[in-house]
Amino acid sequence: MIPLKINNFGFVRVAAASPQLKVADCDYNTAEMKTVIGRAVQEQVQILCFPELGITAYSCGDLFFQEALQRKALASLNDLALFMHDKPSLIAIVGLPLRIGSNLFNMAAVISAEGILGLVPKTHIPNDREYYEKRWFARAADLTTGSVTIGGKEVQTAIGGMLFQTPFATFGVEICEDLWMPAPPSSLLAMQGAELLFNLSAGNELASKHRYRKSLVRQQSARCNAAYIYASAGCGESTTDMVFSGACLIAENGTLLAESPRFSTESELIIADIDVEALRHDRLRNTNFGCAAPQPLDEIGCHIDPVITAELRHPVPAHPFIPAAEHADEFLSEVFSIQTEGLAKRLRHTGIGKVTIGISGGLDSTLALLVTIATFDRLKLPRENIVGITMPGFGTTGRTYANAMGLMRASGITVKEISIVEAVKQHFRDIGHDISDRSVTYENSQARERTQILMDYANRIGGLVVGTGNLSELALGWATYNGDQMSMYGVNASVPKTLVASLVRWIADNRMDQTSRAILHDVLDTPFSPELLPAGAGGQIAQQTEHFVGPYELHDFFLHRMLRYGDSPARILFLARQAFDGTYAREELAKWLRVFYKRFFAQQFKRSCMPDGPKVGSVSLSPRSDWRMPSDAVAAVWLQELEEASNEQIPES
């Protein structure tokens, strides 16, 4: 990949470190921190968090009362600040005991090339059977001065909280126990604008505690729509009755991005690029983040250099709608259950016990049939009340016809075969269309004839038409208006094409008999096609959808980034290059993204009157709840930005 400024695309590089420390040996600890800082600078980390009281080590006990240790800790802080003077790319957060007046505070110091930027005291001081911090440290509420003099300079202290504003993100700091409280200070920091939350910690290890710790970090990052960076004391601080493991965690909006090995004998450094742009998008949609907090927090501006790198340290899944293998069974089962319950509710509410569904031998109608069968089984309705109608036309191939018939027969539903060829020919004669003219009229007439058959047959039996179209087709407008675009309930309406395939494969492998499984796997291997043009030589499919509109895996990626995160064209192109590196060239990505925008904007009118259908995930195009877009919106702004991003000169590495 070519080196790029990742900050330009909304990412900030952060790290959590757990250096090997010695209890009460400030010189040794400072030297270890300097080594880690050097590594972080090489890795272009922009904000680095160390553990709680790291300059002295956490487990000093009554040594904290010793003036010699207090003075040495302060001198070491000045030493670290001096060490940072020639490192304008990095901000470091370190912990130390700091005496202010007649109180000793468990303090976090934020330092950079600009010096000591600010001091944040620990808010909640534990006093339980493991931690006796109230013996040594005062609460943040006991801090009465807004600044202290360190090294001859005034340094601001946080009374009630503090925000640090960089050119790329705003961050806040809390310390260990603060996270474990019912109302962590980081919640207020997030509500006031902090997008990155750092925690200097020194939690000891107990059996099963780490699982709970990870849960807290993930949940707080999700609750705050923020990144949470947690750095904990390492094995070097283990002493007397307590063992520390050096647990470091980085989570973003509920997802764990990085985790250090525990009980390491080496200094650990974990790094992740935080997608601040995505966090801001979620906060923009969550209007509660606009609510004013009880009192404004102090704000400190600080500088960091941008990151120029070819490696984005943030997962960018190429197939965002497809679950990770370890979660696949639970996720796919939930999606299938939501689809099934949606249709079941519609049937219960209307009192309808029969349906018609068009079966083409393709993926979408196959999934819709599987959902319908599961629904009827759940409602204890006979499968014979499902009327599957296959409607061969000019482009139907033997492969798809055989799969359609085989699946219906194996499923025990009522099978109907109604050819549309003669009806469409008559229609061409009625409207004066030359059958050799294979334009849009030739194609759409077939789609509308099929829909008419399904609707009229449903009326004849007192039934309901189950729609088969998927989310990807709705996004691209790859559907005939008042043809396959229309139904009485669309069970696949919020299921994108890539997920349709995953669902069918999962159902085939987990819920079907051997005969049906073989048919489903052949359906999965069949190229996507509406089969509206005559077959090619040897009866092969002549009209493959992805040759016209582009790969569905790309369009699903584009759709997810645009709707879930509100990403701009330049950002989507940047992320697509990360996700599909080695699969698609930059020019090809730009080409299909251009197609996506043109079709997405031009085809909104089809989505504005789409039928009801169950929402199964975070992305939906329903005009009633999830996507309200004017049908006549212009795509010029998006296409112009895409052209500029496509033509931008990429610097040589």
Between CA 415 and CA 493 the distance in angstroms is: 24
CA distances (Å), 404 to each of 98, 411, 464, 505, in order?
A: 75, 11, 20, 16
Give the catalytic positions in this structure: 52, 122, 176
Q: For the chain, what is the radius of gyration of the CA atoms?
A: 31
Closest CA to 573 of 557, 590, 587, 561: 590
Give the C-alpha separation, 335 to 615, whole Å.
9
- What's the token pair of residue 516? 């049906």
Q: Point out which residues pair with 98 in neighbouring strands.
A: 105
Q: Compute the Cα dihedral for 192, 196, 199, 200 and give only its sign.
A: negative
Which of 110-120 are b and which e, b meaning 16 or more Cβ less than 10 Å from the residue's Cβ? bbbbbbbbbbb
One-letter amino acid for residue 486 of the chain: M
CA distance 591 to 593: 6
Strands 248-252 and 227-232, by their bridges, are antiparallel
DSSP state of 63: G
d(CA 371, CA 315): 32
DSSP 138: B
Pairwise CA distance, residues 150 & 77, whole Å: 9
List, edge to edge, every strand of the sheet that includes 386-390.
414-417, 386-390, 355-358, 464-467, 489-490
> DSSP letter string over 397-440?
-HHHHHHHHHHHHHHT-EEEE---HHHHHHHHHHHT--TT--SH
Beta bridge partners of 199: 174, 230
Residue 471 carries which side chain, given as an amino acid letter?
L
The one-letter amino acid at 380: K
Neighbouring residues of 129: CB distance < 8 A, sequence distance ≥ 6 = none
- Pick from 191, 254, 192: nearest CA to 228: 254
Q: Nearest Cα to 615, choosing from 606, 604, 607, 624? A: 624
Edge-to-edge order in the sheet of strand 47-49:
115-121, 103-112, 91-100, 47-49, 11-18, 268-275
